[in-house]
Amino acid sequence: MSTHIQIVPDSLALAGAGADWLAHRITRKPDLTILVATGQTPMGMYGHLAARVQAGTLDCSRVTAVQLDEYMGLEPDDPRSLRGWMERAFVFPLGIRNVVPLDDPATFTARLRDLGGLDVAVLGLGPNGHLGFNEPPSSPDAPTREVTLTPESLESNRGYWDGLAVPTQAITAGMDVILAAHETLLLVSGTHKQAILGAALDGPQTPDVPASFLRRTALTVLADREARP
Ligand code: PGA
């Protein structure tokens, strides 16, 4: 497939360029089905999109948002719920009415099949090369499933929750779902992602770096100069 790498000066530019990329696709196909990453990296982009919706220049009312990953064992109103984060950062501010939550692998897989799969996957890059919570090693055909988080993911997720413990078990949309998206957007920011982005783009395609398999898709990488000097 094709890999297009766009380097921007900094995380602010990343947010604007990411919003342009996705808004263009929503305008072209208003009922776009989008896999939605949480994490720090896409937050600026989501903020830009919300501003466009508020200004009346973008309509997301027919978009379907698909949840990428979730911790297990939380009450629905737990502040650490990734569904809650996706709703606060993306679904509600963009006026999206259709959501496919990730609560049960079988139900999620059936609903996605009924929708005809993903148009677009918006992804961040884990410090260990994970996509969603497809932790290394994850093969390209790994299905939507329950996983145990690696120490690297527990450590990076700790930064999200202000002292609250990070659950050790999670559910992730499978590699099979992600790699079947018609297009993928990988957002990468900061020096701490430089080495793993290099491995994903320039190294072998290997289950040890799940993001390396994105090169099999129609991939756009949007990285700032700290991540891709
Ligand atoms: P981040 O997380 O955007 O907060 O760096 C990315 C990830 O762990 O997938």
Q: What is the pLDDT of residues 73-106, one digit of tens each?
A: 999 899 999 999 999 999 999 999 999 999 999 9
Task: Dump pLDDT digits (tens) for 19-50.
Answer: 999 999 999 999 999 999 999 999 999 999 99
Q: Whose CA is nearest to atom 7 of ligand 1?
A: 126
Does the CB atom of residue 41 touch ligand 1 within 6 A? Answer: yes
Residue 110 has pLDDT above 90, yes or no: yes
Count CA atoms within 13 Å of residue 56 on its CB side.
Answer: 0
- pLDDT exceeds 90 at position 1: no
Tell me, using a 6 A CB cutoff, whether residue 39 lines ligand 1: yes
Mean pLDDT of the chain: 97
69 is catalytic: yes
Please state the length of the chain.
229
pTM > 0.95: yes
Q: Answer yes or no: is pLDDT of 190 > 90.
A: yes
Collapsed DSSP state (helix, strand, coil) of residue 212: helix
Compare 163 and 53 and report the one with higher pLDDT: 53
**48 catalytic, yes or no?**
no
The answer to whether the CB of 18 falls within 8 A of the CB of 39 is no
What is the Cα–Cα distance from 40 to 156, expressed in whole angstroms? 10
- % pLDDT > 90, the chain: 98
- Residues 201 and 198: their CA atoms lie apart, in Å, by 5
The answer as to CATH 3.10.270.10 being correct for domain 3-227 is no
Please state the atom number of ligand 1 nearest to the C-alpha of residue 130. Answer: 9
Instruction: Report the pLDDT value the prediction gives residue 67, as an integer from 0 to 100.
Output: 98
Residue 217 has pLDDT above 90, yes or no: yes
In the prediction, which pLDDT does 9 show? Answer: 98
The verdict on the CB of residue 150 being under 6 Å from ligand 1 is: no
What's the pLDDT at 163? 87
Taking alpha carbons only, the member of 118, 222, 219, 228 closest to residue 173 is 118
Integer Cα distance of 204 and 192 in angstroms: 20
Q: Is the CB of 156 under 6 A from ligand 1?
A: yes
Residues 37 and 132: beta-carbon distance below 8 Å? yes
Residue 201 has pLDDT above 90, yes or no: yes
| Dihedral class, residue 75 (left if φ above 0, else alpha if ψ from -120 to 50, else beta) | beta
Task: Give me the pLDDT at residue 7, please.
Answer: 98
Give distance in angstroms: CA of 112 to centre of ligand 1.
24
